[in-house]
Structure 1
Amino acid sequence: MIRNASRLAATSVALFMLASPVFAQQAPQPTAGQLAAANEVAVSSGLTGAFDAMTDPLLNQLQQMNVTRPEIRQDLDQVVALIRPEVDQKKKEMVDATAKTLAARLSEAELKEIAAFYKSAAGQKWVQLQPGILDAIVRDMAIWTQRTSEFIMARAREEMGKRGHQLN
């Protein structure tokens, strides 16, 4: 659940960056080389895994309808097989949009350097471990946020009490 939430958050951030009208007005057009390198970074870094994490469960959920209505199983399987390429095209659109976002912010040389990292053993290990690391960070951040909030309120109450004020 946390993994999906962190992937959803990453996807939401990416969508926000793409939708920014200020960014759209100021961004120079990326070169074909930048876009190619950016696409390689988007895929090899695992950024695009979030798109699978969004669409695959939707298709699986659609196929689960056959549990409650077994008489539609064959037709439902055919429909899922029929629309899967269309869903893959939708994911490709998002991969392209992600590549454009990366290309607008990084030079071709920087993108190639980043892509080289993701091709390395350390980069591949990072991509493999990153979802679990993000899950742990999100979990730890929730705990930290709660504790920090409690600390701030306790300290504020203490200091305000010294000044003759009571905070509820």
Structure 2
Amino acid sequence: MSRRLIAALGLALLASPQAASAQANKPAPAKPAATPGTAAANTPGETYSQSHLALAREVMLSSGIARSFDSVLPSFAEQIRKQAVTRPELAKDLDEVLASLQPEMELQKQRMIGIAARTYATKFSETELKEIATFFRSPAGKHYVEAQPQLLDEMVQEMQDWTQDVSEYVMVRVRAEMGKRGHQMQ
């Protein structure tokens, strides 16, 4: 996952636990069903039916997206530990404090899951979410989710290699074309 995404997710997760708890327990007012085959409109303050949000949550969780949230909070704890390295006498208390914050951090993760589910609900109708959920429940969908981390790792490596190759290719081509115009580039 990119550092920007981790930072953005981290900022979202750092809101107060009380707000997370209140938001997580707040029922969503009913929304008229979206027309099948069309994405729900994303208007400020729009709400979705409980079934629409439940499907959006299921799709988001079953797609493997929530795995990325799992890595954010431990990375914060690790960063805090690294900052405290200059004061080793804090290690025991710091570990205890971080452990005691786990329930609050879980609330923050659940808050982010709720935000992600609402984001899914803005992009997909309830009918579309049912179809997507069916896919993720299928053997092929489950295999897709299991393979996703390796696929992403391999694609990132391939993108890095491809970027390097294309960069070199473009530079060779630019030098050749500039040479045709009487300019020598190093």
Structure 1 length-normalised TM: 0.75
- The separation in 1 between residues aligned to 2:75 and 2:8, in whole angstroms, is 20
User: Superposed, which structure 2 residues align to 1:79-158 within 5 Å?
Assistant: 79-158=97-176
Identity percentage of aligned residues: 38
- The separation in 2 between residues aligned to 1:116 and 1:132, in whole angstroms, is 23
Q: Are the equivalent residues in 2 in contact too, given 1:39–1:95 (CA < 8 A)?
A: yes
Cα separation, partners in 2 of 1:96 and 1:71, compared to 1, 3 Å:
closer
Q: CA RMSD in A?
A: 3.0
Corresponding pairs, count: 154
Matched, 1:166 2:184: yes
User: Unmatched 5+ residue regions in structure 1?
Assistant: 16-22
SS at match of 1:134: helix
- The separation in 1 between residues aligned to 2:5 and 2:136, in whole angstroms, is 18
1:13-40 deviations in whole A, cap 9, x for unaligned? 889xxxxxxx965684333222111111
Select the residue among 56, 66, 73 that pairs with 2:74. Answer: 56
- The separation in 1 between residues aligned to 2:6 and 2:139, in whole angstroms, is 26
Give the C-alpha shift of residue 108 in structure 1: 0.6
Q: Are the equivalent residues in 2 in contact too, given 1:38–1:102 (CA < 8 A)?
A: yes
User: Superposed, which structure 2 residues align to 1:19-58 within 5 Å?
Assistant: 25=43, 28-58=46-76
Q: Which moved more, 1:24-33 or 1:114-123?
A: 24-33
Give the C-alpha shift of residue 121 in structure 1: 1.2
SS at match of 2:182: coil
SS at match of 2:101: helix
Cα separation, partners in 2 of 1:161 and 1:139, compared to 1, 3 Å:
same
What is the one-letter code of the residue matched to 2:145?
V
- The separation in 1 between residues aligned to 2:9 and 2:89, in whole angstroms, is 39
Structure 2 length-normalised TM: 0.69
- The separation in 2 between residues aligned to 1:119 and 1:39, in whole angstroms, is 14
The structure with the greater share of residues assigned to helix is: 1
